[in-house]
Amino acid sequence: MNLFYLTFSIISVLNLIFAITLIFLERRDPTATWAWVLILTLLPGIGFIIYLFFGLRFRKRKIYREKQIKDFRFPHDFSSTINRILFQIHTPYIRRMVRLGYKSHPSSFVGYNEVEIFVRGEDKFNSLFQDIEKAQCHIHINYYIIKNDHLGRKLLELLTQKAYEGVEVRVLYDGMGCRKLPRNFFAPLFKAGGKAVKFSPSFLDINYRNHRKIVVIDGKVGYIGGFNVGKEYLGQKEEFGFWRDTHLRLVGESVDTLQYRFLLDWNFASGEEVDYYQRYFPKKENLGEVKVQIVTSGPDSREEEIKYLFLKMIYGAKKSIYIQTPYFIPDQTMLEALKIATMSGVDVRIVVPDKPDHPFVYEANHSYLGLMLESGARCYHYKGGFLHSKTIVVDGEVASVGTTNMDVRSFKLNFEINAFIYDTKTASELKGIFLADLEICEEITLEKYNQRSIGMKFKESIARLVSPIL
């Protein structure tokens, strides 16, 4: 028995020393550092294994190096439009946003587009399937989750048919998000000549997921937003009920950026060298009037580009900031920016789901909403089903729609993509959708928040403690 205790003590001490050394060498956020120290202290041995899979950043550096090399192989020729666009933007802080987004990567230029907004899965997939049926050259698809249900099989059936017709079909899916897919799910597509590749299949890469949702059809039509592929996104899963999300259909210049990002990710994940042929970037005709900038971020980025643009939006707000997000677990920088805006008289409103889809998320959301309530923000629970929408609308002038949640995981770990919209009409439409949603929300008042139970307060404390690693 004494030998057991001695061995356990030695393992615990070595585990703690080694883990703390690794964590501090990684130069991560202090809050996340202490969260990991707590886990490693309370769970010796097991905690270290968890850290290997979820906390270690050596893999991130490897991902960054490999992916950056592939990125540099593309001739950056998108810059020709930047000065033309900047000349036509008269709001100073929006001009600075455009420059910031462009600085993150030359492909993040601003283009003119037609934009259609979807908030119902049925409408989005009806439109997507119609566009797929019309495809003549290629179909490029990237989803975080594809389910083996009637919607996933319908998508597979359409893609397989188009592959038989001679259309190039490429599907990129995340290894973690699609972990329940049968191994032979894409067999019909392969037989027809199409291709499907798993992104980041290694179990050690479990912490760095491709959370992007991108569809490009013939280089002319693009989709970006929050919907994945599965029956719950049609509101057909009792656990969630109606699924409220936001997705965009783009026709215009910004489709080139979606295409570019897909091909970069495809080449990285597949090991292929798909050239950037002109057929993937056809000349755009009959451009719309909506200025859209596509920005990406992830473990392959030196900076947190999407987060920086969120901050620029918040600091530029004069009247209102309307946020919808399933996960409101901001880091300190984002939290302080929102609090400063609120205390400066900006109308800050935040809507989150009334039901969680992951452990600790509801409590973590509630905890941070409490801080916002204390600063004067107005916060709401969405009561019409499950809210998965990831949108920000500022002053009814500029908006963002994409895959990025308001949490540390999206800012630092996931591969994300967002559309930043510099158009009053479209931003006002998104603002109207937000205000309509408030009709089926329950406001969380500070008085009500302060009356929460001791049990809820305890759960919030635990959730706050582990929130940096959620």
- Catalytic, 77? Answer no
CA-to-CA dists, residue 46 to 11, 24, 432, angstroms: 11, 20, 49
- Asked if 26 and 164 sit in the same domain, the reply is no
On whether residue 221 sits in a domain, the answer given is yes
- Catalytic, 76? Answer no
Domain boundary, last residue among 253, 288, 323: 288
- Asked if 271 and 349 sit in the same domain, the reply is no
The active-site residue out of 284, 390, 431, 459 is 390
Domain boundary, last residue among 244, 261, 288: 288
- Catalytic, 180? Answer no
The active-site residue out of 174, 245, 265, 395 is 395
- Catalytic, 390? Answer yes
On whether residue 52 sits in a domain, the answer given is yes
- Asked if 182 and 240 sit in the same domain, the reply is yes
What is the CATH classification number for the domain harbouring 193?
3.30.870.10
- Asked if 396 and 277 sit in the same domain, the reply is no
Q: Give the burial class of 424: count Cβ atoms within 10 A of its Cβ; 0-12 exposed, 13-18 middle, 19 or more buried.
A: middle
Give the residue among 325, 312, 319 at the shortest CA–CA distance from 409: 325
Q: Return the bridge partners of 143, or none.
A: 173
- Asked if 282 and 186 sit in the same domain, the reply is yes
- Asked if 271 and 125 sit in the same domain, the reply is yes
- Asked if 277 and 311 sit in the same domain, the reply is no
**297 has pLDDT over 60:** yes
The active-site residue out of 105, 140, 198, 211 is 211
Query: Which tens digit of pLDDT belongs to each residue from 421-442?
Result: 999 999 999 999 999 999 999 9
> Which residues span the domain enclosing 28?
2-56
- Asked if 462 and 422 sit in the same domain, the reply is yes
On whether residue 91 sits in a domain, the answer given is no
On whether residue 118 sits in a domain, the answer given is yes
Domain boundary, last residue among 288, 322, 347: 288
On whether residue 86 sits in a domain, the answer given is no
The active-site residue out of 388, 412, 431, 459 is 388
The active-site residue out of 105, 147, 213, 284 is 213
pLDDT tier, 93 (very low <50, low <70, confident <90, very high otherwise): confident
On whether residue 161 sits in a domain, the answer given is yes
- Catalytic, 245? Answer no
On whether residue 297 sits in a domain, the answer given is no
On whether residue 30 sits in a domain, the answer given is yes
- Asked if 279 and 313 sit in the same domain, the reply is no
The answer to whether 75 touches 276, Cβ cutoff 8 Å, is yes
Predicted pLDDT at 66? 47
- Rounded Cα gap, residues 113 and 422, in angstroms: 11
- Rounded Cα gap, residues 2 and 256, in angstroms: 67
- Asked if 16 and 150 sit in the same domain, the reply is no
pLDDT tier, 110 (very low <50, low <70, confident <90, very high otherwise): confident
List alpha helices for 55-112, DSSP H.
58-71, 82-87, 92-104
**Structurally, how many domains does the chain consist of?**
3
- Asked if 276 and 335 sit in the same domain, the reply is no
- Catalytic, 218? Answer yes
User: What's the pTM value of the predicted model, to 2 decimals?
Assistant: 0.87
**59 has pLDDT over 50:** no
pLDDT tier, 287 (very low <50, low <70, confident <90, very high otherwise): confident
- Asked if 337 and 400 sit in the same domain, the reply is yes
Residue type, 386: F
The active-site residue out of 131, 218, 300, 331 is 218
